[in-house]
Every structure is written in C-alpha cells, then in structure tokens.
Chain A
Amino acid sequence: MKVGILSFQGSFLDHSKSIHELGYESLLIKQSKDLTSVDALILPGGESTAMKKINQFSNLLTDLDLLIKDGIPTLTTCAGTILLAKEVIGGEVTIPNIDIEVTRNAYGRQTESFEGSVKFFENEDIYCFIRAPKISKILSDTVNVIAQHNDEIVGVAQKNVASLTFHPELNNDEYYLNWLNDFIKEGKNVRSF
C-alpha cells in the first residue's frame, strides 16, 4: 500500500511518519513526475497561499484533482482542507472537491492557536489547531460531520474525502491511526464510500 503526500511545504513529514507507523509506504510528491500509482492521498497543513504559488510551477494539483475525482481516499488537514474547499473566505478556491465553505485564519493569529478537545467519530481527544481555518458552512447534505470541537464542526467527510481543520498527525494517537488505516484500506477496495 502506498500513500502519496503533497509535499510542497508544511507538515508532510509528520504525515509520512503516520503512514510509516501503519507499515505502509509513503511517497512525497512535489511535481507531476513524482506521481506514480498511489492508493491514497494526503494534503497536509502549511500555508495555502505558498502551496498555490508552488503549484504554479508544475500544476501538480490538476493531476491530484483528477485522482480525487476518480475516488481515491483523500485526507486533508488545515491548509489541505482549504485547497479542496468549494468556497473560501479570505483566500482562493483551488481544486474544489468538498462541498464546504471554509474561512481562513478564522480563530485569529498564532497567539489564538490552541490545543482543544475534539470528538472525532466516537473518540474524544486533545488536538492542535494552528492558525486554523473554520468550516463556516456546509453546502450539501451529502457532507457528513465527523469531528467537533465544542459546537464547532472541525471535520467532515464526503464520498472519498475526509477534511479536518486540526492536526491529528502531530498526535498520531492509536484511535486516529486505526481510523486512518481503515480509511486507506476501505478506499482501496471500493474506491468510494
């Protein structure tokens, strides 16, 4: 099993560590030519404006867009979620694949970044929110809420895409890794949810 991780900049190595903990291979993708056959994709956190700029060089995101639309299981965190959102407040729409509106830097600056309790499916744990976006609107009833911080929606899933605004890769707790394993494996079998 091989998981491709968008590696323009940001926390791609942390995600790669999660994949290695599951015993899978990770592929750090920076240009279209790096993209060989992968079973799942991760779009990590970082700065979405920088990622968009770096993308202009090889247009890798156009290829990833095709893979995502083809049904490959795709996890996004933070800036990765902004890249896939259908609408973006305070930023630009990039490759819309999930029917949500996100608001960039919605909690404020770094001094407002925090560790907060998150109900991720059935499990409750503490995760980091770093200059995080907010999922400000859900634009389709096929979008399922999978994570909540207090009353706020901080994670959603729609078809083959799961999008979070926090950073489970900085924890790599057992619940998250088990979920990630199922997410990748299930996608390989059915290519849709």
Chain B
Amino acid sequence: MKIESTNKVKKGLAEMLKGGVIMDVVNAEQAKIAEKAGAVAVMALERIPADIRADGGVARMSSVGVIQEVMDSVSIPVMAKARIGHFVEAQILDSLGIDFIDESEVLTPADEVNHINKQSFKAPFVCGATGLGEATRRIAEGASMIRTKGEAGTGNVVEAVRHMRTITNELNEVIACDENEIVALSKKFRAPLNVLEEIKEQNKLPVVNFAAGGIATPADAALMMQLGCDGVFVGSGIFKSGDPAERAEAIVIATTNYNDPKVLSEVSKDLGEPMVGINIDTLSEEEKLAKRGW
C-alpha cells in the first residue's frame, strides 16, 4: 500500500526543513552556492524581491526555464512562488514536480478575494502571515507551512519581528483561553474554529512556522529563531551582499546555533558588506508587500 501527497507527507517535508535556511536563487550557479553553503532548500526566482521592488511593474511566477534549471542543478528541495489566488500558476508548478509552492505576496496578487485552494495540489504550500488569523486561514485552505511576511526585499527585519511577535502572542491567547472563549477568539482573529481547536489540542500551531522578509545577517536569523521561529527564509540578503557564499554559510551556522552568542560573533566576523537596507517608514502603503493577501 502506498498513497502519495497526503497531508502528513506534505507537513512532513516542512518538519524536515526545520532549523534550516531556505535561500532565494535566480539561476543554477546561485542554487549550487546555496546548496554548498548548507541551505535546506532553495526558492527558484527570476528576480529576487529587492529587484522586484526596484523594477516595479507586475511580478509573476518565474519562467519555467529558470525553475527547471534550478531543479536540475541541486539535490535539495526546490520551491517556487505563485501569485496569491493564481491557481493556474500553481498548477503549472505542480506539474513541474516542484517540491513546495509559495503562494506569495512578493508577486502581484491575481485575486483580491480568494487565496488558492491548496488541498487539491500534490505539492505542499507555504504561505505568509502577519498574525494568527491569516496563518489559520491559510492552514484551513491547506497550507502545510507558514512563514512571517516580514517586508521582503528591504533587508529590514522589523516587520518579520512584528509578525512573529503578533503570531506568538495571539497563539498564547488561544492556548490559554477557556473553552467558552474560543468562539469569541475565532471571531476576534477571523480564524477558522477548527484550526483554533487544533491549536488548543496541540498547544502549538499545527504546521511549521518560518521567518521571512528582511533577514540580512546571521544575527537577524538568530533573532528570529530566539523569537520562536522554526527556521528562516533569506531572500535578497544573501545574493545582494558582498560575499554571498560566506554570508550564506554564516546564516546557516547561526540558525542552528541561534542560542550561542559566541558562535554568532565568530560567524559574523569578516562577512563583507550586507545588503543596503530600506527603512519601512520611507515606504508608501502601496509599496508594502505585507499588505497583500487577505
């Protein structure tokens, strides 16, 4: 007996990625650097978020050529992004045999009401969230993994911290609540009741939760881990920096040893220039990617 793509198998891959770093790459060469540096997976993109932000225009799923090139070049799992609500982009990625689909606010949304119904795909999905309501709605739609939205392409960790703290505080409120309060909490957070019940039973989010959006240094990665994240996504932070291979490695070591300041100071030495960051206050509301998704 053998059944593929069950919920348990989908969530299982996310479990295996825990404690690891997932890196954005735009070609085979970068993918190999990431794999060699110890990435647990790579995200295949045509442009990294910092460039998407700089270029403007509509950001879509990457070309199939780029995704396949990356898939053929490494032995670790490969993820790719589909636009929010763009289930056909997701169907294409699924047919390529991609290992994980990121329904991502970094791309221009294709549907202003609906996210993709993620249950019907073979590949597992990861989705961004700014709070518990968003996280649980995505889980109810079939997401096997959650990540903070942060503010991608800024090299500024402040939004990821805000989102992680919000998710943790709201999660604690649910875990601590009396069973008579759970329906009210479901309304308060606009969170599906069945997912809240699952949280209460397990005393944790039922899927893995990674940090993403603005992580640029080993210290940023360790900060997110100390705040309770299960692992980190690093987008623009690596390949927009002075020495990508060295920085990638340093972030991997920092993510494992997030509680050991000695190790963190050792890997932070002589890293070269980090990416230039953007202050969130200088972004207009339309420029904030975290506002995308519902």
The reply to whether the CB of B113 lies closer than 8 angstroms to some CB of chain A is no
Q: Is the CB of B260 within 8 A of A9?
A: no
Q: Is the CB of B37 within 8 A of A53?
A: yes
Q: Considering the complex, give the chain B residue whose CB is closest to the CB of A126.
A: B1
Taking CB atoms, residues of chain B closer than 8 Å to A9 are: 17-20, 40, 231, 255-256
Q: Is the CB of A109 within 8 A of B97?
A: yes
The reply to whether the CB of B123 lies closer than 8 angstroms to some CB of chain A is yes
Taking CB atoms, residues of chain B closer than 8 Å to A109 are: 71, 77, 97-99
- Residue in B16, B35, B99, B100 with the greatest tally of chain A CB atoms within 10 Å: B16
Taking CB atoms, residues of chain A closer than 8 Å to B8 are: 115, 128, 170
The smallest beta-carbon distance between A90 and chain B, in angstroms, is 6
The reply to whether the CB of A23 lies closer than 8 angstroms to some CB of chain B is no
The reply to whether the CB of A12 lies closer than 8 angstroms to some CB of chain B is yes
| A110-B77 contact, Cβ under 8 Å, with A49-B38, A50-B20, A53-B38 | yes
CA distance A10 to B41 in the complex (A): 12
| A91-B75 contact, Cβ under 8 Å, with A9-B231, A49-B35, A115-B8 | yes
The reply to whether the CB of A111 lies closer than 8 angstroms to some CB of chain B is yes
Q: Which of B5, B35, B36, B76 contacts A111 (CB 8 A)?
A: B5
CA distance A46 to B40 in the complex (A): 8
The reply to whether the CB of A167 lies closer than 8 angstroms to some CB of chain B is yes
Q: Is the CB of B40 within 8 A of A130?
A: no
Q: Is the CB of B17 within 8 A of A131?
A: no
Taking CB atoms, residues of chain B closer than 8 Å to A90 are: 75
Q: How many A-B residue pairs have CB under 8 A?
A: 138
| A7-B5 contact, Cβ under 8 Å, with A31-B257, A113-B12 | no
Q: Is the CB of B35 within 8 A of A110?
A: no
| A47-B17 contact, Cβ under 8 Å, with A53-B38, A111-B94 | yes
CA distance A31 to B16 in the complex (A): 20
Taking CB atoms, residues of chain A closer than 8 Å to B21 are: 50
CA distance A65 to B218 in the complex (A): 29
Q: Is the CB of A110 within 8 A of B19?
A: no
| A50-B249 contact, Cβ under 8 Å, with A104-B75, A111-B123, A115-B9 | no
Q: Is the CB of A7 within 8 A of B35?
A: no
Taking CB atoms, residues of chain A closer than 8 Å to B77 are: 47, 109-110, 131
Q: Is the CB of B9 within 8 A of A114?
A: yes
The smallest beta-carbon distance between A14 and chain B, in angstroms, is 6
The reply to whether the CB of B122 lies closer than 8 angstroms to some CB of chain A is yes
> Could you give, for residues 1-40 of chain A, a 1 whenever the CB lies within 8 Å of some chain B CB and a 0 otherwise?
0000001111111100000000000000011000000000
| A170-B12 contact, Cβ under 8 Å, with A50-B40, A53-B37 | yes
9 A-B interface contacts by CB (under 8 A): A8-B19, A9-B17, A31-B263, A47-B40, A50-B38, A130-B12, A130-B16, A131-B99, A170-B15
- For the complex of A and B, 5 pairs with smallest distance between CB atoms: A53-B38, A9-B19, A110-B99, A9-B20, A117-B1
